[in-house]
Structure formats: structure tokens, C-alpha cells
Amino acid sequence: MTTTQDTTTPSDKTSGVTYTPEDGLLLEVEDLYVEFHTPDGIATAINGVSFDLHQGESLAILGESGSGKSVTAQAIMGILDMPPAVIPGGHIRYCGQDLLSMPEDQRRRTRGPEVSMIFQDALSSLNPVFPVGWQIAEMFRMHRGVNKSDALEQAIRLMERVQIPAARDRVKAYPHQFSGGMRQRIMIAMAIALDPAVLIADEPTTALDVTVQAQIMALLDELQQERQMGLILITHDLGVVADVADRIAVMYAGRFVEKADVVELYSAPAHPYTRGLLESIPRLDQKGQTLAAIGGLPPNLMRIPPGCPFNPRCRRAEDVCRRDRPELREVVPGRFAACHFAEEVINA
Amino acid sequence: MTDAAVAEVTVAEPREGGVREEERSLASDAWRALRGNPVFWVSAVLIAVFTLMAIWPSLFTNTDPREAILAESRSRPGDGTWFGRDIQGYDIYARCIYGARASILVGVMTTAMAVAIGGGIGMISGYLGGAWDATFSRIGDIFFSIPLLLGAIIFLSSLPEFFNDNYFLVIMKVVLALAFLGWPSLARLMRSSVIQVKPNDYVQAARALGASPSRIIRSHILPNSLAPLIVVATISLGGYIAVEATLSFLGIGLQPPAISWGIDISAAIVGLRTTPHMLFFPSLFLSLAVLGFILMGDAVRDALDPKTR
Amino acid sequence: MPEVILSAQDLVKHYPIRSGVLRRVAGQVKAVDGVSFDLHKGETLGIVGESGCGKSTLGRLLMRLEEPTSGKVIFGGEDWSGASGRKLRQMRRNIQIVFQDPYTSLNPRMTVGDIVGEPLEIHSDVVPKGGRRKRVQELLDLVGLNPEHINRYPHQFSGGQRQRIGIARGIALNPSVLVCDEPVSALDVSVQAQVVNLMEKLQDELGLAYVFIAHDLSVVRHISDRVGVMYLGRMAELGEEDEVYSRPTHPYTQALLSAVPVPDPTLRGKRDQIVLQGDVPSPANPPSGCRFHTRCWKAQEVCTTDEPELELRPDGLGAHLSRCHFAEPRLILETVDVSDLEPDTRFAGTEVQDMSDLGAGLGAAGGGEDLGSSAADAGVERSSALHPDTDQAPQDTTRLVDEQPGDDRPTR
């Protein structure tokens, strides 16, 4: 990929609008809210989420199903179905420009060259009736106006880059002719085709076997280093996070309950939920372990309990937790947690 | 992707929802959805009115539909009668009311028969698979390839005279013809929905428990595969009514002295330009009856299909 | 070692591939291709492997949900692969299954009471008709659900609760073996531990033996006494949990273990990582010789021609079953024995009750009290209902976690 090697600063290649990150700051999400208006009521999927993403940084957003982690990714990409989704407040700034207030056609041109995404289910994300090479080439033709044969040539090089064996022979193959791991590689190739500055990976390996998962994560890591992309890794797997991410944000019921450097978070979690999660997973390198489980279930997003949303499941909860909602605050330098007793938890 | 987003939200929903409302069966959920749907109420009222007409026509009119007053032949609506009189001098309003019985009878009985045959055969071929499935599917395909109207014409004209003896036999002959040709589509539908339900883990669990095939069908497969059949049967009930009218119109379905909208429409054709009301009223009743069942089918589908909720 | 209760002998399941107009058999998908193992009373045998290795088919063969192409399943000394009719039904009481997907394993049109009560209706002689409802409530209580929810429908429960219902159905007839096909893989991390703890509690109290099929190596290590690793329809390695995880001798096991991410960022880049090339070959056309040779870094000429036997091979400390010509132990990750450590229960607990309904009641005080007392009331009747065939009842059913392992249970 000689053509893209030098473009470490992101810029729009077709419309002339250029995006330049200031001090490497790519993405700024500020106090974001997302609601789903359903016939049964309003579900608050994201409830005031803020974070930054810099060049070459990888941020993991960790959460269980219903925590709002995928909705966050979709809100950044601008692919939420609205309605039923509504964004009642917040900003998503890419290189200083607010994506939410941008006209739709300008925003559409950011998808691909600036911000790009990989999905969990590669089979349903690829169009089954077109050859994979054609689908990758289409990215170059659409966004860069490259002619057909050059685009196909670039697609082949990209397939080689994501280590698809015999790429030149398989460029005309259809998605169903590839294995799950190979399809995910094709998805990655499409996502990085236009050299985005930000790559969002939404559970990229959840559907894959563990040996294939290791291959894909290694590839993603390598590509990120090589291109200095900002990577947002959405996952529920504490193991994957530990292997890849620099920073981690733990999400619960639509808010960040903890945000920290990965090493620090794993060694001393500052929120009871994070702590409970770490204690509830069986570890491959331990035997005779007694699993401790977090009791109960995450709350219904239409009826998030007052006070701290985690309080019904928290063994440390006191009256104040049922009354006052704790804000995400800096407990010790660089460590943020939304818990009234964060100091106590971090030192426990 | 957005499906995933919504799913993420809705998955969390029943968790606490269940605490408040005990005993929410899918049927009661469906009823809840139906209750709030205006289309359901419109169609329910239509169907109720037509059914009442079929059972108890004297509730709607005191006039004898076979009382011909030739002197007032072709009189217009309002000239002593609501809908006017036809070429024989029959009261059109009374004819329309009494015509409902044939239509509803044909519709309901044909549907019942087609559901029984089609549903049963679909269940057998879907559940047993293999050679049974192949045989029944091919037989169904053969019937499927016969055009409904053409097939019915041939079938009806080949029946012995004895079928024209009384009202019920005349109705039965039309019912037989339509059910005979209509079951394959229902069998296909049933087969595919049984095939969808069968590999579900709850069916496997019942097998693992040693449940007998009849038990598996009765409590696991049937309740979960019936919904599409109900929907399509309701819609095709309207269709059968229309086909009955068509056959009667062509003179091979019901025949006078039976009273049917199709017969009246056929008789009204002569005065299409001069006395359009003779054509208009039976056609209106026919359309409303067909519409009622089709709308009902749509409403039931919306209620039974969890994806629309 | 306690007696062998279930034994698979050279189980084979081939699915024909048909093609062409005449639907002629064009080949065979060798889903399970000669698998043998013994399951002892009260133990857990974990079966791990990647998708397509045949582990789920194996579970279905054990359950007689599929007919084996060849081979035998011996249960309590009797071959039940040929059984049918009354005998098959009788045997089904002793071996039951829990499925992976909590959303398709329960009939959406039946109430929980009907679902859990169905085994009792099918085997109507186990509990007399009048006692069934009570027995169902006891079962719900046993799996940590509120017995008053007997009239609810599956969709009113969460995934974890549904899995508990599936387990209650599985143990309703007091089986001695429970086949668990990925029972926790569809659940969220925080709910997984609840279900795993429940399964361990039930094993202690009821003396169940589990065949625990899963792709998650960490969960399998946690729950299993012995572990079998499957690759392309065959057992690649089989041994005690510690033997397979601490001293794996088969290259595939080693690669599998090294690929599992460990939730400890300080180990990043320091672990022995074996990245396998390529994908698993198709089971319709498995490689000749050793099935793993196409991806193996140790493969030599002999591997492509001669299939190694699954036999005892030295692992550095002793020997366990492995199917590799060049079997040698390799330390993939240092195992820490934490069995003496008391779990930190300040933020997460070890109780097995489902606590979603307790809501705010679950605070620092611990929310299990209400349920605990009601369970104590039912305790006496329940123990007799649980073990209608034996006089031996579990000592104390109200305890949340068993401190001393059951009598029949091998020490781990």
C-alpha cells in the first residue's frame, strides 16, 4: 500500500474538505445522549458519555449486552436509525468539527475516509451477490474515482495486506466461499481501504473461534500501529481488552462507570461493577478458583433505577447510592470512576 | 446494524417488565396488540355484521327475497325499497342480505376443509420429512399447477346432477371444489413453518425427554407453527367468497333458486348502463365481505408477528 | 476412582453429502469420527474444541438425538445405542441435556410450570399427578428461581433465568448424567458465573455427572475434572484438567491454550503465543494421517501418512492420552493454584440464587435471607422428592454453597 503509507494525517480525498487533528486529537465525544422511542416507552441507551481519542491510541469500550456500547459506536458512525433513535444532546467532534450538526452529505463523505467500522457478523455485512474483490474495489471507485482495473488492483493489494492467501485468485470469489476468519479479514480490508483516521471495531472477534480470534486481533493491532489509527474496540471480553487496548472505558446502563489506563484498571478497579466483573470470570491460568458472581441483572433501560444505576446489584450500596447519582470523577490522577465509594474500592 | 441496536434495547425489556404483569402469554400479547389496532375493529365489525346476516337474515329485513313484484321491475332505490328492485322485481336489499349466507357458508366451510387437509398434510410432510415429504409435496405441486378457476369449472361441471338437489348440497359442491384445489397452498405454508419450528432446541429437549411424536406435535410444534396458517386462512376466506361469487356469476357455482351475490351480479349485467344500482349493491356487499376478511388477516398477522412489535 | 457411569465407544457420525439430480451420496461429512471416553459418577468431563470439531454432534449422539453411524454408548453397563421404545424412554430418565441458546430451548407458548413439568408428565410414574406442581416449584427453588413464577412465560425472563429453567427441566427426573451443550456461552459475563456456580452446587447436592461441552477453555477448566480436546471429529488429547492445561502434549492443545486471551494486561507480549496459520480444514475432506498436520509446526513426513493413536504419552510428570507422534509437554502458561484463597465477597458473591427480583433489597446486608427461610421450610419435603429412589437425602439443601465436596466426587 504505497499510495496510502504517507497519509498519516487524515484528509478528505474527494470533497476538498480537510480534517486536521490538533495535537493528535481525533475524536471528542462530549456528554452524548441517545434514546430509543419505542411504543412501550423511552429507552435511554446512552446517558451522558464523554471521551477523547487520539492518533495511534486504542480505546476499549467494555460492557455487557444492553450497556449501550454498540449504540455509542453507531452514533459516532452516524448509522443509527432515526427514528426510533433520537440524540437529544451532546457533541461528537471529529478534528474539531461537530459531526452531529454537519449536513448529511458532508457527514456521509467522512464514513470510510475518516471514520470507519468493522462489524461482528462479517457474513451479513458483506453483500452476498457480489465478489469480495469487487466490493473492496467499489470503495476506491466511489470515494476516489479510480478506474475499474486500478481499483481491482488496489483491492488485491489490500487483500494481500490483510493476509488472505492467494488473494489474486480469490478476488472474484463470493463471501460465502470464505471462512469466518477470512470474511472478517475482508471486512477489515474494506474498513481500512480509504485509510481512515478512526477505526471502530464492534465485537470484531465474538463470532470467531479462539485461534482465529488471535489472528484477527494480531492483524488489527499491526494495522493500527502501522497506520497510527485511533482504534475504538467495542467488546464484552475482558481478555481481548487486556491484550490490545491502551485505555478502557467500562459501560453500564448507558454510562461510563469507569475510565482508566488498562494496566491500572486491571490491577485495582475503582468501581464495584468492574471489580465484580473481574472476579466473576474464570481464568485460564488459575485452578481451584471460586467464582464470585454479580447478582441480578442490568437494569431495564426504560426504568433505570434512581441514584447509581448499579445500586440494586452492588453489595457496597448505601442509602446515598439509592438517592444520588454519582458523577464520573477523577479518583486519583488519570483514574475516573462513577462511584460514591471509589476511593474505598480502589484501595480494597 | 440498527436492528442490533434496537435488539440490544429490547432484549433488556422483559427483564423487569415481567415483574409487573404476571401471565403474559403470547396469545394475550396478540390480543393486546389487536385491541389497539383500528383495522382490527373495522374488520371485526364487518365480519360480525355479515355473519349475523348469514345466520339471521330476518333481523335485517322483513321482505321475502323471493317475492317477485314484476310490476316494479327495475325500480330505483328509494321508490318504496332501499336499494330498488331487479329485473325480476326482487327487492335488491333483501337479496343482498340473504345472499350473505351462501357466501359466508362457502367461505367458512372451504377454509375449514382446506385448513384441515392442508394443515394436516403440511404437518405430516414437514414433521416426517423424507419420502413422505417428497410424495406429498409433489402431489401438492400437481394440484398447485391447476388454475383455481379453471379447475373449479371442470370439477363442478363433472359432478353428478344429484348435487343440485338441495341448498346444502349445492353449497357443498362449491366447497368441495374450492377446498380440493385450495389445500396445497396451505399445506406448503404449514410444511415450511413446521420445518422452521422442528429444529428448535425445545423440540429437541422434548425428544430427549422421551416425548411421543404425538405429544411433540401437539404441545410443541403445532402451537408454534399455527400462526402463519391462521393469517393466510383468514385472508383466503375472503378469496374463497370472491371465487364463489365468480363461479356463481359464470353459472356453474350456485344456481337459482339459491340466492348469492354472484348470481345477482350476473343477472344485473343486462342493465349495466340503464340500471347500474342492480349491479352496484351486490358488488358492494361482496367487496365489503372480502375486504373484511383480508383486513382481519392483516391485523392478525401484525399481532402474531413479533417482529412488527 | 468411582465407577464408570457413561462410556462412549468408538462413536462415529457421518452425514452424507448428496448432490446432483439423483441426490446420490457424493461424500461424507465426518462430524464425529471415532471418539471414546469414560465418564465417572459425579465427575465433570469437559469437551473443548473449535466450531466444526464435532463436539455438539457428540453431545447429541450421547443423548440419542442422532443415531450414530457406528459405535456404542454404554450407560450403567448397558448398551443403549440400540435401545428403543420403552427401554429408550427408561434410559432417558438417567441422561438429560441442557442447551446453549436460552431463547430457543424453551417453548414460547408454554408456561414455566408446563416446561419444567413436562418431564414429569412424560414419565408419569416418577411423581404422582397431585404432587407435580409442588415438585416443579421445588425444582425452581433448587435452581434459584422464585417458585411463585411458575405461571410466567419464558419471554418474561432474562437469558440467565431461562438457562436456569432449562437446567430445572434437565434435572427434573433425577438423571445421573447431564449433557451440557455450551450452557453459558450465550450469557453475559456477569451472568455466566451465576450459572456456573449453580451447576457446581447442583453437582454437589445431586451427585450429577456432567459432560460439559464448550468452546471457552477458561470456563471448561474451571468446571471440569477431566478435559477432552477435539479436533475435526477426533479426540486430540484427553486427561485430567491439570494435565491438559498445565502439561499439554498435543500441538493443537498448545496452540489453543496460547490463543486464549488472559485478562491480565501485564502479561501482554510476555506469553508464549502460537499463532496457527490458516483455517480448520473441512470435515468433509479431512487431511490424511494426523488431522492437524496441515496447520502444525511440528509436522513431518510421517504425520501426513500415519495417523497417531490416542494413547498414553509422557507429559513430564506422568502420562496422559494424546494423539501426536511428537508429543512433548510445553508450558503455555503458568498455573496458579488458588483453591486455598477465599473469594473476595465484598463486591461479588458466590450465592447461586437468582437475585434479579430482589432489586434494591440486595444491599450490603446480602439479599438472600427471604429466600433462604422459605427454602428451609420446603427443605424436608424437597429432599424426599428429589431422591424418590434412594433414602439418602442431601444433608442440607438450604446452604448456598457446599463447603465439603460430595462423597462420590473426586477431589480436585
pLDDT tens digits for B84-97? 777 777 888 888 88
pLDDT one-digit tens code per residue, B10-47: 333 333 333 344 456 667 777 888 888 889 999 999 99
Residue C281 is which amino acid?
A: P
C contacts of B25 (beta carbons < 8 Å)? 109, 111, 153
- Determine the distance in angstroms separating the CA of B226 from the nearest CA of chain A, rounded to an integer: 26
pLDDT for res B306 = 55
Query: Is A188 within a domain?
Result: no
Could you write out the three-class secondary structure of C80-139? CCCCCHHHHHHHHCCEEEECCCCCCCCCCCCCHHHHHHHHHHHCCCCCCHHHHHHHHHHH
- Per-domain boundaries in chain C: 1-94+175-224, 237-322
Interface test with A, best of C224, C347, C354, C358 (most A CBs within 10 A): C347
Sign (positive/negative) of CA torsion C343, C345, C348, C352?
Answer: positive
As given in the structure block, the three cell numbers for residue B272 are 349495466
Of A71, A297, A303, the CB nearest to B8: A71
Q: For residue C136, give Cα distances in angstroms to B139, C89, C106, C121, C385.
A: 46, 21, 15, 11, 10
Considering CB atoms only, which of C262, C278, C364 is closest to A315?
C364
Task: List the chains bordering chain C where 3 or more Cβ pairs fall under 8 Å.
Answer: A, B
Of A64, A283, A288, the CB nearest to C188: A64
A246: cell is 491502551
Q: Is C334 helix (H, G, I), strand (E, B) or coil?
A: coil
Chain C's closest residue to B14, CA to CA, is: C156
Q: Do C349 and A209 count as a contact with CB atoms less than 8 A apart?
A: no
Do A342 and A313 touch, CB atoms closer than 8 A? no
pLDDT band of residue A16 (cuts 50, 70, 90) is low
Q: Do A84 and B6 make contact, defined as CB atoms within 8 angstroms? A: yes
Q: What are A277's three cell numbers?
A: 466483573
pLDDT for position C352: 67
**pLDDT the model gives residue C254:** 92
- On whether residue B201 sits in a domain, the answer given is yes
For residue C94, the distance in angstroms to the closest alpha carbon of chain B comes to: 10
| Counted domains in chain A | 1
Collect all residues with Cβ–Cβ distance below 8 Å to A261 and sequence separation of at least 6: A246, A247, A248, A334, A335
Sheet holding C24-40, edge to edge: C24-40, C4-19, C70-75, C78-79
Inter-chain CB proximity C349 and A296 less than 8 Å: no
Compare CB distances from C348 to A241, A288, A292 and report the shortest one's residue: A292
Q: What is the DSSP letter of A208?
A: S
Q: Which residues of C touch B (CB under 8 A)?
A: 60, 63-65, 88-89, 92-93, 96-97, 99-101, 104-111, 114-115, 118-119, 122-123, 149, 151-153, 155-158, 166, 169, 173, 356-357
Closest-CA residue of chain C to A277: C190
Residues of chain A contacting B11 with CB distance shorter than 8 Å = 65-66
The cell 472477534 sits on which residue? A205
Q: Enumerate the residues of chain A whose CB falls inside 8 A of the CB of residue C331.
A: none
Q: Are B92 and B261 in contact (CB under 8 A)?
A: no
**Strand partners of residue C79:** C74
Handedness of CA C361, C362, C363, C366 (dihedral sign): positive
Q: Count H helices, E strands: chain A?
A: 14, 13
Average pLDDT score over residue span A149-172:
86
CA-nearest residue to C99 within chain B is: B201
List chain A residues with CB under 8 Å of B10.
Answer: 38
Q: Is residue B33 part of a domain?
A: no
Q: Do B5 and A66 touch (CB under 8 A)?
A: no
Which chains neighbour B (Cβ–Cβ under 8 Å, 3 or more pairs)?
A, C
Tell me whether residue A162 is in a domain: no
* Count of pairs with CB atoms under 8 A, one residue in A, one in B: 57
The dihedral through the CA atoms of B93, B98, B100, B103 has a sign that is negative
For the CA atoms of A252, A253, A255, A256, the dihedral, rounded to the nearest 10 degrees, stands at 0
Supply the pLDDT for residue B2. 40
Contacts of C104 in chain B (CB under 8 A): 200-202
* Closest chain B residue to the Cα of C158, Cα to Cα: B15
CB contacts of A310 in chain C (<8 Å) are: none
- Who among A36, A39, A303 is closest to B16 (CB)? A303
Please list every residue in chain B whose beta carbon sits closer than 8 Å to the beta carbon of residue A74: 1-2, 5
- Element containing residue A247 per DSSP (H, E): strand A247-252
Rounded to a whole number of angstroms, the distance from the CA of C132 to the nearest CA of chain B is 16
Mean pLDDT estimate for chain B:
82
User: Is C65–B211 a contact, with Cβ atoms under 8 angstroms apart?
Assistant: no
Q: Look at A111 and A252; give whichever has higher pLDDT.
A: A252
**Domain count across chain B:** 1
Q: What is the mean pLDDT of residues A313-339?
A: 88
State the Cα–Cα distance between residues C15 and B306, nearest whole angstrom.
35
Cell numbers at B37, concatenated = 389496532
Which of A65-79, B161-175, C188-202 is least confident? B161-175
Distance in angstroms between the alpha carbons of the first and the last residue of chain C: 12
CA distance B85 to chain A (A): 51
Q: In what order do the strands lie in the sheet with A85-94?
A: A41-54, A25-38, A85-94, A97-98
Identify the residue among A46, A61, A74 best suited for mutation to test binding to B, counting B beta carbons within 10 A and taking the highest: A74
At residue C357, the pLDDT reads 53
Query: Which grid cell is B198?
Result: 422442528
Q: How many Cα atoms sit within 13 Å of B121 on the Cβ side?
A: 22
Q: B145-165 b/e with 16+ CB inside 10 Å = b?
A: eeebeebbbebbeeeeeebee
Encoded amino acid at A338, one letter: A
Q: What's the CA gap between A79 and B142, in Å, rounded?
A: 48
Tell me whether residues A318 and C346 touch, CB distance under 8 A.
Answer: no
Range of the domain at A348: 276-348
Count of C-beta atoms within a 10 Å radius of residue C339: 10
- Contact assignment for B9 to A299 by CB distance below 8 Å: no
Can you give the pLDDT at residue B119? 93
Residues belonging to chain B with any Cβ–Cβ distance to chain C shorter than 8 Å? 14-15, 17-19, 22-26, 200-202, 204-212, 215, 219-220, 223-224
Start-end of H helices in A16-147:
69-77, 104-108, 122-125, 132-144
Indicate the CATH number for domain C1-94+175-224. 3.40.50.300
Query: Is residue B296 assigned to a domain?
Result: yes
pLDDT of residue C378: 36
Q: What is the pLDDT along chain C (412 residues), one digit of tens a residue?
A: 678 899 999 999 998 888 777 777 778 888 899 999 999 999 999 999 988 888 889 999 998 888 899 998 998 888 887 777 788 888 888 999 999 888 889 998 889 999 999 999 999 888 888 889 999 999 999 998 888 889 888 888 888 889 999 999 999 999 999 999 999 888 888 888 889 999 999 999 999 999 999 999 999 999 999 999 999 999 999 999 989 999 999 999 999 998 888 888 888 877 778 888 777 888 888 888 899 998 888 888 899 888 898 989 988 888 899 999 998 888 887 888 777 777 666 777 766 667 655 443 333 333 333 333 333 333 333 333 333 333 333 333 333 333 333 333 343 3
Neighbours of C329 (CB within 10 A): 18
Verify whether the Cβ–Cβ distance B26 to C169 is below 8 Å. Answer: no
Whether residue A297 and residue C276 make contact (CB cut-off 8 A), yes or no, is no
pLDDT 10s digits, B284-308? 999 999 999 999 988 888 887 655 4
For B271, the domain range is 42-308
Domain-embedded: residue A190? no
Q: Where are the beta strands (DSSP E) in C208-329?
A: 209-214, 226-231, 234-240, 311-314, 319-322
User: Measured between CA atoms, how close is B26 to chain C, in angstroms?
Assistant: 7
- Report residue B281 as a C-alpha cell: 349493491
Residue C201: exposure state from Cβ atoms within 10 A (0-12, 13-18, ≥19): buried
Question: A99 lies in a domain?
Answer: no
Asked if C119's CB is within 8 angstroms of B24's CB, the reply is no
Q: Which helix (H) or strand (E) holds C376?
A: helix C369-386
| Cα dihedral B81, B86, B91, B95 sign | negative
Average pLDDT (A164-169) is 84
- Which chain B residue lies closest to C181 (C-alpha atoms)? B201
Q: Output the pLDDT for position B303.
A: 82
* DSSP structural state of residue B58: G
CA distance A181 to C280: 10
pLDDT value for C262: 85
Query: How much is the pLDDT for A200?
Result: 92
pLDDT at C355: 62
CB-CB under 8 Å, C152 with B23: yes
Q: Considering the domain boundaries, does residue A45 fall inside one?
A: no
Residue with cell 394436516: B120
